[in-house]
């Protein structure tokens, strides 16, 4: 090598100048300068997630700012300055980071003045000694473009090829082409983790397949249904469906889950799809019914109420996804056998309103609600009238409702009263609430004893309405269809028939799923099912895993029959 040559060594990042003397390298994690002494090291930085946002006029969205390195004991003040349109504002414009918040970050809310003309602002987050971050915020050029009142009307709905293959392989060819929900139940599900619950297809794979089905569908629009299901401390009252994130992992939920999904949904390739998101089932209702001020309470539900993990998580999801013009957010609203009592009904609507206005969200980000997700409450009970003569029965137990249709319609009315949009719509999951087969009653009983008469007349054959795990005797319900009843956007199959609710015994796993005794057919119950037997099917696998015996029973007991 000549004396004037420059070379770069292929180890430890060492580079040298023309003299062959190292100009800077890293040794055992310490930055060094050319004379072998410590160097200044990398400059810490400010990060923003997401860094590009779209917001409708009159609405707000949020971005999370955080630091890459801990500040000094006196803290670091980050100031936000705006360039571009004054129609978009930020709050707060000054944030002090300290030892308690530099990693989790602080949310900044960006609000757009009402209007439909194009407006773009760039906000720079800067602090002494830190590399700055920029956030680009654009006001959409119209009302939330592309949205219709009911996305299901006149549309096809995505058929998941992975579920289709399972259904067809297990005798379900008659229903294999039905649309079902795609569940994003872990961070790794976004890219595809080859697990029994999500298979090899990630979110983009499903969206690409939906685009292909849309292209084959001619001019008919295409709906794809995606379940957003990964809150910190998930399902605080049910061990079978616990998740990967701990109760204080809200920052991970936002940055590694919601923001990543939103980045994929924003891709231009998917702009023509109608993307229906089912927002966090079995979360907000738990904050009403399963805190320890109730006999049904758990300590984890207390934690999630106190730390606002569910409320702020749902609010963040609604704000982030609501800013995407072709997304329709439907928030889980439990079911009549959970929230139908006077003490639960109104408070549940209120907690949903609180979540819908948290983390920079507004009520406008909620397109509707969904009931009965992954549950088996009967759609209608034609042989029982709910009144003061039947409400005292053991089965109804003073509930205001006895089926999902009347509950969903009443929930919609109460939500409108609470300030949600007057055109808000409801979905009802009918994937497993048919209750057909030989045990289905064909008319009302004339028994003189109230409980005998109600038990002989009811369609729902569970032992108790609190039984939710793989109930024996269930059947496929109404097939998915649009606008089946006033106020109802669609009957849907969000829970794919044949996928387990939870294991009937403890099964070690890496999915964060515990063993819930409500899935054990030998368990005598707890206050949440009034200490009744569970009625769960035996030999069930982990939640989300294929359960062939259950699928066969759902086919046999389908109503309407196949």
Render pLDDT for 440-468 as a digit per residue (tens, 0 to 9).
999 999 999 999 999 999 999 999 999 99
- Token pair of 108 as six digits: 């900044």
Q: What is the mean pLDDT of residues 201-222?
A: 96
Give the three-class secondary structure for 455: helix
Q: Is the residue at 250 inside a domain? A: yes
Q: What is the distance between the alpha carbons of residues 375 and 340, in angstroms, rounded to a whole number?
A: 15
User: Are 186 and 130 found together in one domain?
Assistant: no
pLDDT at 118 over 70: yes
User: Are 352 and 237 found together in one domain?
Assistant: yes
Q: Count, in order, helices (H) and strands (E) of the chain.
A: 12, 21
Name the band, by pLDDT with cuts 50, 70 and 90, for residue 102: confident
Name the band, by pLDDT with cuts 50, 70 and 90, for residue 28: very low
**Other C-beta atoms within 10 Å of 358: how many?**
19
Write the DSSP assignment of 299-336 as a string of letters: HHHHHHHHS-HHHHHHHHHHHHHHTSTTEEEEEE---H
- Token pair of 391 as six digits: 């409400």
Q: Is the residue at 156 inside a domain? A: no
Question: What pLDDT is recorded for position 107?
Answer: 83
Q: Is the residue at 157 inside a domain? A: no
User: Are 390 and 456 found together in one domain?
Assistant: yes
pLDDT at 266 over 70: yes
Question: What pLDDT is recorded for position 141?
Answer: 60
Q: Is the residue at 118 inside a domain? A: yes
- pLDDT tens figures, 461-506: 999 999 999 999 999 999 999 999 999 999 999 999 999 999 999 9
Q: What is the distance between the alpha carbons of residues 221 and 208, in angstroms, rounded to a whole number?
A: 15
Name the band, by pLDDT with cuts 50, 70 and 90, for residue 34: very low
Q: Provide, rounded to the nearest whole percent, the portion of the chain with pLDDT above 70.
A: 91
Alpha helices in 109-198 (DSSP H): 161-169
Q: What is the mean pLDDT of residues 352-371?
A: 96
Q: Provide, rounded to the nearest whole percent, the portion of the chain with pLDDT above 90.
A: 79
User: Are 434 and 360 found together in one domain?
Assistant: yes
Q: What is the mean pLDDT of residues 46-71?
A: 81
User: Are 62 and 14 found together in one domain?
Assistant: no
Q: Does residue 332 have an active-site annotation?
A: no
- Cα angle 486, 488, 490 (rounded to 5 degrees) comes to 135
Question: What pLDDT is recorded for position 502?
Answer: 93
Residues with Cβ within 8 Å of 317's Cβ and at least 6 positions away in sequence, in order, are 228, 258, 277, 279, 280, 329
Residue found under tokens 């319900």: 477
Weakest-pLDDT range from 55-64, 282-291, 299-308: 55-64
Q: What is the mean pLDDT of residues 68-89?
A: 92
Q: What is the distance between the alpha carbons of residues 99 and 69, in angstroms, rounded to a whole number?
A: 10
Catalytic position from the list 185, 235, 249, 312: 235
User: Are 88 and 34 found together in one domain?
Assistant: no
Question: What pLDDT is recorded for position 32?
Answer: 45
Q: What is the mean pLDDT of residues 430-434?
A: 98
pLDDT at 541 over 50: yes
User: Are 62 and 13 found together in one domain?
Assistant: no
Burial class (CB in 10 A: 0-12, 13-18, 19+), 30: exposed
Strand-by-strand arrangement of the 22-27 sheet = 15-16, 22-27, 30-33
Q: Is the residue at 543 inside a domain? A: yes
pLDDT at 223 over 80: yes
Q: What is the mean pLDDT of residues 414-429?
A: 96
Q: Which domain range does residue 103 map to?
A: 46-139
Listed residue (391, 392, 528) closest to 465, CA to CA:
528
Question: What pLDDT is recorded for position 240?
Answer: 79
User: Are 549 and 475 found together in one domain?
Assistant: yes
Name the band, by pLDDT with cuts 50, 70 and 90, for residue 40: low
User: Are 64 and 185 found together in one domain?
Assistant: no
Name the band, by pLDDT with cuts 50, 70 and 90, for residue 387: very high
Q: What is the distance between the alpha carbons of residues 505 and 413, in angstroms, rounded to a whole number?
A: 41
pLDDT at 257 over 70: yes
Instruction: Write down the mean pLDDT value for the chain.
Output: 90
Q: Is the residue at 517 inside a domain? A: no
Say how many domains are in the chain. 3
Q: What is the distance between the alpha carbons of residues 458 and 386, in angstroms, rounded to a whole number?
A: 12
User: Are 287 and 434 found together in one domain?
Assistant: yes
Q: What is the CATH number of the domain that holds 92?
A: 2.60.40.10
pLDDT at 11 over 70: no
pLDDT at 262 over 60: yes
Say if CB 284 and CB 318 are below 8 A apart: no
Question: What pLDDT is recorded for position 415?
Answer: 97
User: Are 91 and 72 found together in one domain?
Assistant: yes
User: Are 408 and 472 found together in one domain?
Assistant: yes
Name the band, by pLDDT with cuts 50, 70 and 90, for residue 18: very low
pLDDT at 77 over 60: yes
């Amino acid at each position: 090598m000549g004396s004037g040559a420059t070379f770069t060594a292929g180890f430890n990042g060492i580079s040298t100048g023309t003299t062959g003397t190292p100009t800077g390298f890293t040794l055992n994690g310490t930055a060094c300068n050319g004379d072998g002494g410590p160097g200044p090291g990398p400059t810490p930085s400010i990060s923003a997630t997401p860094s590009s946002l779209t917001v409708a006029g009159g609405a707000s969205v949020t971005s999370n700012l955080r630091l890459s390195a801990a500040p000094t004991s006196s803290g670091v003040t980050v100031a936000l300055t705006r360039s571009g349109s004054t129609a978009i504002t930020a709050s707060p414009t000054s944030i002090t980071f300290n030892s308690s918040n530099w990693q989790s970050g602080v949310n900044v809310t960006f609000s757009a003045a009402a209007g439909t003309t194009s407006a773009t602002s760039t906000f720079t987050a800067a602090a002494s000694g830190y590399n700055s971050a920029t956030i680009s915020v654009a006001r959409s050029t119209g009302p939330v473009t592309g949205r219709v009142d009911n996305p299901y009307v006149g549309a096809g709905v995505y058929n998941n090829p992975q579920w289709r293959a399972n259904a067809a392989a297990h005798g379900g060819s008659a229903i294999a082409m039905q649309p079902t929900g795609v569940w994003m139940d872990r961070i790794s599900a976004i890219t595809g983790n080859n697990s029994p619950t999500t298979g090899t297809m990630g979110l983009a794979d499903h969206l690409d397949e939906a685009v292909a089905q849309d292209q084959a569908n001619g001019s008919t629009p295409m709906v794809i249904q995606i379940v957003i299901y990964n809150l910190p401390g998930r399902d605080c009252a049910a061990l079978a469906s616990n998740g990967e994130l701990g109760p204080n992992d809200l920052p991970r939920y936002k940055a590694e889950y919601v923001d990543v999904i939103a980045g994929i949904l924003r891709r231009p390739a998917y702009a023509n799809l109608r993307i229906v998101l089912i927002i966090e089932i079995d979360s907000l209702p738990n904050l009403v019914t399963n805190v320890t001020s109730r006999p049904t309470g758990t300590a984890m539900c207390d934690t999630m109420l106190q730390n606002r993990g569910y409320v702020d998580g749902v609010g963040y999801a609604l704000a982030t996804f609501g800013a995407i013009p072709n997304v329709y957010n439907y928030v889980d609203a439990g079911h009549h056998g959970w929230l139908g009592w006077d003490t639960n009904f109104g408070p549940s609507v209120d907690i949903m309103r609180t979540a819908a206005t948290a983390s920079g969200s507004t009520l406008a980000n909620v397109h509707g609600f969904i009931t009965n997700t992954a549950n088996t409450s009967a759609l209608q009970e034609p042989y029982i009238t709910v009144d003061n003569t039947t409400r005292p029965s053991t089965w109804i137990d003073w509930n205001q409702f006895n089926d999902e249709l009347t509950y969903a319609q009443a929930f919609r009315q109460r939500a409108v009263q609470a300030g949600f949009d007057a055109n808000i719509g409801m979905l009802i999951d009918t994937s497993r609430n048919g209750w057909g087969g030989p045990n289905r009653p064909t008319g009302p009983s004339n028994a003189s004893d109230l409980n005998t008469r109600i038990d002989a007349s009811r369609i729902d054959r569970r032992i108790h309405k609190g039984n939710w795990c793989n109930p024996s005797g269930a059947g496929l319900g109404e097939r998915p269809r649009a606008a089946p009843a006033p106020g109802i956007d669609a009957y849907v199959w969000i829970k794919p028939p044949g996928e387990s609710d939870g294991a009937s015994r403890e099964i070690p796993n890496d999915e964060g799923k515990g063993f819930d005794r409500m899935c054990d057919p030998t368990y005598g119950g707890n206050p949440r099912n009034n200490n009744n037997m569970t009625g769960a099917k035996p030999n069930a696998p982990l939640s989300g895993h294929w359960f062939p015996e259950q699928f066969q029973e759902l086919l046999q007991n389908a109503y309407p029959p196949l």
